[in-house]
Structure 1
């Protein structure tokens, strides 16, 4: 049983969804991103997505793009991402890297997997890699004990949902909307249907992301999903803050607010 499997088993026993929080490594600096992630964990985040800043983000909205650009401008590199992963894993929470596939290929798939496992990482979220093209990653991830978290969308056919869920491990990442990341005033009406379709083809936990930004939305998603994934709203806490401590305070408050929405009882 992987770290992520254990988390979902524990959340089920507590009759709640898991809270997944995303922050990019190196924003606003490597050290500051480590402090920010620790703040999220201390205030209720169950699983951390450490973003690998990338210069050509296909799926990222303006908030995450701005943070990634700042991290890259500050000189953040892949080795820094692993440093953040190591610090996060040391907090005792499952830690995954969210990355586009190009940086993995450039480093070498097996080398990347080995380095991620050595840092205590639990797996990889690959928004632009589909299972059909992931044979090398499947082999490397299994060799190093890492989970493979693939994305599905409302436009995915039932056949594609089944194929993706079969190749995935840890959980399946269901994108609740068509489009890029970002906070939204309402959660997608397509999300419950997408999760219901996934339930017909897999017993894997399903996490829903893209758009959740407050307790009410988190509670709504937690009613039908196994995990609620939050990114832009957390990043915005730091982007909007005039100084680091103000940003950390806002991050703590939002994490607590979101976690309160996980409690189904």
Structure 2
């Protein structure tokens, strides 16, 4: 069976559309709400959804997602509970779902056990922002054996490493828009034409830009450089504001971004 991420990007390319990747933290404010949020985001136009596994020291995250992790951990959210939720989600959606998490969580759970459970509940990809590309062999064997895409990241400082990382990437390449941590930004000043120039020639996997995109206008601008955009903190801000009542406002926000990308 073809990985859902690959099939999704192939379909979007055939339609001449850009991918919308959205993010929520598992267990914020509770797992039942997370489950409903994922369904709502897909219904509202998201093509892929990242689910963040809460972690006590999320070094790549700004205050918004740090607070979401802490709110979730107060309820003792753990990976087994998240896998149970994901199993239920697979009864209702066949769209690509990814986990975003930190390497210590994988190691503590057990790398082989983790990827086996990803396969069992049909997780399509895993993003590990604190795993250096040069240490990818820590998970590569397990990811390839289970068919789970290990999504690699490149940053504005990657420069000559962009092509090297892209050559190894499957699923999609996560382009970090700006230096620093996640969080909405009023302006993104990275020269993406220069950063992504090495990818103009060659048969690489799709690329999506994330970190800092806060509205439909920014999403459309960022997606003009690549195959799609990733929005996280702007959605988590809505969840923080509305809690269990965030389903509708998150859906409305995702719809507004989808409309901007399609306009």
TM-score computed with the length of structure 2 as normaliser: 0.94
Report the counterpart of residue 102 of structure 1 in structure 2.
104
Contact between 1:222 and 1:261, CA under 8 Å: does it hold in 2? no
Report the counterpart of residue 150 of structure 1 in structure 2.
152
Per-residue deviation, residues 28-56 of structure 1 (Å, max 9, x unmatched): 00111111111111101110101000001
After alignment, is 202-211 or 225-234 more displaced?
202-211
Instruction: Please state whether the residue corresponding to 1:20 is helix, strand or coil.
Output: strand
After alignment, is 247-256 or 192-201 more displaced?
192-201
Whether 2:121 is the aligned partner of 1:119: answer yes
Contact between 2:25 and 2:52, CA under 8 Å: does it hold in 1? yes
Distance 1:180 1:73, change over 3 A: same
- In the alignment, the residues of structure 1 paired with residue 144 and residue 178 of structure 2 have an alpha-carbon distance, to the nearest angstrom, of 30
> What 5-or-longer segments of structure 1 have no aligned partner?
none
- In the TM superposition, 1:1-265 aligns within 5 A as 1-90=2-91, 91-158=93-160, 160-200=161-201, 203-241=204-242, 244-245=244-245, 247-263=246-262
- In the alignment, the residues of structure 1 paired with residue 127 and residue 203 of structure 2 have an alpha-carbon distance, to the nearest angstrom, of 18
TM-superposed deviation, 1:202? 5.2
Instruction: Please state whether the residue corresponding to 2:262 is helix, strand or coil.
Output: coil
Contact between 2:24 and 2:52, CA under 8 Å: does it hold in 1? yes
Instruction: Please state whether the residue corresponding to 1:157 is helix, strand or coil.
Output: coil
After alignment, is 161-170 or 186-195 more displaced?
186-195
- In the alignment, the residues of structure 2 paired with residue 136 and residue 149 of structure 1 have an alpha-carbon distance, to the nearest angstrom, of 14
- In the alignment, the residues of structure 2 paired with residue 139 and residue 100 of structure 1 have an alpha-carbon distance, to the nearest angstrom, of 18
Instruction: Please state whether the residue corresponding to 2:23 is helix, strand or coil.
Output: strand
Distance 1:189 1:133, change over 3 A: closer
Q: Which runs of 4+ in 1 moved over 4 A?
A: none
> What 5-or-longer segments of structure 2 have no aligned partner?
none
Contact between 1:177 and 1:191, CA under 8 Å: does it hold in 2? no
TM-superposed deviation, 1:71? 0.3
Contact between 2:156 and 2:190, CA under 8 Å: does it hold in 1? no
- In the alignment, the residues of structure 2 paired with residue 157 and residue 109 of structure 1 have an alpha-carbon distance, to the nearest angstrom, of 30
- In the alignment, the residues of structure 2 paired with residue 29 and residue 216 of structure 1 have an alpha-carbon distance, to the nearest angstrom, of 30
RMSD: 1.5
Instruction: Please state whether the residue corresponding to 1:53 is helix, strand or coil.
Output: coil
Distance 1:142 1:236, change over 3 A: same
Q: How many residues align?
A: 261
- In the alignment, the residues of structure 2 paired with residue 132 and residue 189 of structure 1 have an alpha-carbon distance, to the nearest angstrom, of 24
Contact between 1:195 and 1:206, CA under 8 Å: does it hold in 2? no
